[in-house]
């Protein structure tokens, strides 16, 4: 596996790949890799000749400096995992390499950035768009892979790709959420949970699943309240939001339509903020 730390190094390798007419699959990450990331790499390997993973903890998408400082980082373990997953190139730039000067671009997402994560993490999606657009322009992959745990992020990336970067012709592939045996959605942040918080964390997906199954017994408001109350019963957990949204425009629905509605959650488990979602089918 090739390790590139600068755009120049990366471009040198990518030139060879493009000359050989190989297709490039791209998996952008912030490191602290887990089985969710590895499933994206597997998908990319199956659908492309060549897989490139980036590891970059992007300061622009953190609205809370403490969250940025605490974000787990473990390059040595990540490199071992990438080698065993047959990743071809990993790009690990420093902050100055990606932001040689301040990025002042402001993206307009037609409101899909204003709900849920966007409401509670001001500027988060603008920061995601800044880094993903830079990475897309450098890598120019055929396909890019994102996990559906970040349901709203996938919608933002699709919007960015379609409306701001159409000339790159990238296919965005969203992949299933990978879960632990007890249902907890895999996330780099899970590493930050204490033993007791880790036990509590399973209740988030279990509650979402239970109410997604029985959605027809309740109004949207009742459903939201039931899920919130049940999760909040656990001493470690505190719901930040439960939203029940339309899959297309991400706005709160007044009526649930199976196949077109998703229940989304952000929950504090101690000081660790976890997100999850479940499609109503």
Vertex 201, ends 145 and 269: CA angle to 5°?
100
**In this chain, which of 38, 112, 131, 144 binds ligand PAF, going by CB under 6 A?**
131
Q: Which is nearer to ligand PAF, 27 or 208 (CB)?
A: 27
Asked if residue 132 binds ligand PAF (CB under 6 A), the reply is: yes
Binding flag, residue 90, ligand PAF (CB under 6 A): no
Q: Does 37 participate in catalysis according to the annotation? A: yes
Question: Which residue lies nearer to ligand PAF by CB, 128 or 223?
Answer: 128
Using alpha carbons, select from 184, 182, 206, 205 the residue that is nearest to residue 193.
184
Verify binding: residue 41, ligand PAF, rule CB under 6 A.
no
Could you tell me which residues are beta bridge partners of residue 4? 91
What is the distance between the terminal CA atoms of the chain, rounded to a whole angstrom?
A: 40
Tell me how far, at minimum, the Cβ of 103 lies from ligand PAF, in Å.
13
Angle among Cα 205, 206, 212 to the nearest 5 degrees reads 85
150 binds ligand PAF (CB under 6 A): yes
Which residue in the block uniquely carries the two structure tokens 């029985």? 214
Contact present, 159 and 112 (Cβ < 8 Å): yes
Say how far apart CA 161 and CA 156 lie, in whole Å.
Answer: 9
* DSSP per-residue string spanning 72-87: ---HHHHHHHHHHTT-
Size of the site for ligand PAF (CB under 6 A): 10
Is residue 91 helix, strand or coil? strand
Residue 153-192 contact track with ligand PAF, rule CB under 6 A, x = bound: x---------------------------------------
Stretch that binds ligand PAF, among 27-35, 177-185, 201-209, 232-240 (CB under 6 A): 27-35
Q: C-beta of 128: minimal distance to ligand PAF in Å?
A: 5
Which of the ranges 3-11, 26-34, 249-257, 269-277 carries the binding residues for ligand PAF, by CB under 6 A?
26-34
Separation CA 201–CA 237 (nearest Å) = 8
Of 123, 134, 44, 124, the C-alpha closest to 93 is 134
Kindly name the residue from 7, 34, 37, 134 that is annotated as catalytic: 37
Question: Does 43 help bind ligand PAF (rule: CB under 6 A)?
Answer: no
Nearer to ligand PAF, 132 or 203 (CB): 132
Question: Residues 30, 32, 178, 266: which binds ligand PAF (CB under 6 A)?
Answer: 30
Burial of 65 (0-12, 13-18, 19+ CB in 10 A): exposed
Shortest gap between Cβ of 281 and ligand PAF (angstroms)? 24
Residue with tokens 């980082």: 73
- Least spacing, CB of residue 90 vs ligand PAF, in Å: 13
The residues that are catalytic are 37
Tell me which residues touch ligand PAF (CB under 6 A). Answer: 28-30, 58, 61, 128, 131-132, 150, 153
């Amino acid at each position: 596996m090739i390790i590139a730390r600068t755009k120049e190094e990366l471009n040198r390798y990518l030139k060879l790949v493009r000359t050989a007419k190989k297709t490039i699959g791209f998996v952008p990450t912030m490191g602290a890799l887990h089985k969710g990331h590895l499933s994206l790499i597997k998908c990319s390997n199956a659908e492309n000749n060549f897989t490139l993973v980036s590891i970059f903890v992007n300061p622009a998408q953190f609205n809370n400096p403490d969250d940025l400082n605490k974000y787990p980082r473990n390059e040595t373990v990540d490199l071992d995992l990438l080698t065993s997953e047959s990743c071809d190139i990993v790009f690990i730039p420093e902050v100055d390499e990606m932001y040689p000067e301040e990025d002042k671009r402001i993206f307009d997402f037609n409101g899909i950035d204003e709900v849920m994560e966007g409401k509670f993490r001001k500027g988060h999606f603008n920061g995601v768009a800044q880094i993903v657009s830079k990475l897309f322009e450098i890598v120019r992959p055929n396909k890019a892979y994102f996990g559906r745990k970040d349901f709203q992020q996938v919608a933002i990336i699709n919007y960015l790709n379609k409306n701001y970067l159409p000339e790159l012709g990238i296919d965005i592939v969203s992949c299933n959420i990978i879960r632990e045996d007890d249902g907890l959605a895999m996330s780099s942040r899970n590493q930050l949970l204490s033993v007791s918080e880790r036990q509590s964390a399973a209740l988030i997906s279990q509650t979402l699943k239970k109410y997604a199954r029985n959605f027809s017994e309740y109004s949207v408001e009742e459903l939201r309240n039931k899920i919130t109350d049940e999760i909040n019963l656990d001493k470690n957990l505190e719901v930040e939001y439960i939203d029940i949204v339309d899959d297309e425009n991400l706005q709160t629905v007044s009526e649930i339509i199976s196949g077109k509605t998703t229940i989304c959650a952000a929950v504090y488990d101690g000081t660790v903020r976890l997100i999850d979602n479940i499609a109503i089918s």
